[in-house]
Amino acid sequence: MCKVLIFACISVAMLMTTAYGATLPPKEQDILPTLISDLELLEKSKNKIHLELYTPSETQECIHQTLQCYQKEIITLRKEIEDEPEIENKVRTALQHIENNLDTLMEQTPIGGECKICEANDKKSFPDFHQKLTDFLRSMHK
């Protein structure tokens, strides 16, 4: 009886994968709009942040490493603006959420093969970094 139930569950999972494709699990799909929304909160403050950050030239084969690099740079950014009075608390909170959600998203993506390290990427101003990260997450959301 248990074998039949297990087989039935596996069959349903296979059918759903075939019907909907193998994408991110629903929970992780919800993370992408949240990340993009949090990045939009940074839009007003992006000209107040004068910092250059390593900005990956993302590739489909290196999604995990790209996310890892963006997360590392978000951590750097959060630490750099910690004591700056002109940066609002909601920006600091959004950065914390972005950091946590990138971590969760990384757990669900495979590690690519021959991918360059974060520090091998060009450093770009925060507005450019912000735009590249937003574009990257939107491309993942499709």
Element (H, E) at 61: none
pLDDT exceeds cutoff 90 at 124: yes
Listed by start position, the domains of the chain span 24-141
Q: What is the pLDDT of residue 36?
A: 92
d(CA 3, CA 35): 41
Query: What pLDDT score was predicted for residue 12?
Result: 46
Identify which of 76, 52, 74, 92 has the alpha carbon closest to the alpha carbon of residue 136: 74
Separation between Cα atoms, residue 102 and residue 56, nearest integer Å: 14
Q: pLDDT tens digits, residue range 42-60?
A: 888 888 889 999 999 867 7
pTM as predicted: 0.76
Helix (H) or strand (E) holding 54: strand 52-54
Architecture, CATH, for domain 24-141: Up-down Bundle (1.20)
In this prediction, residues 58-69 reach a mean pLDDT of: 86
Q: What is the pLDDT of residues 83-113, one digit of tens each?
A: 888 888 888 999 999 999 999 999 988 887 7
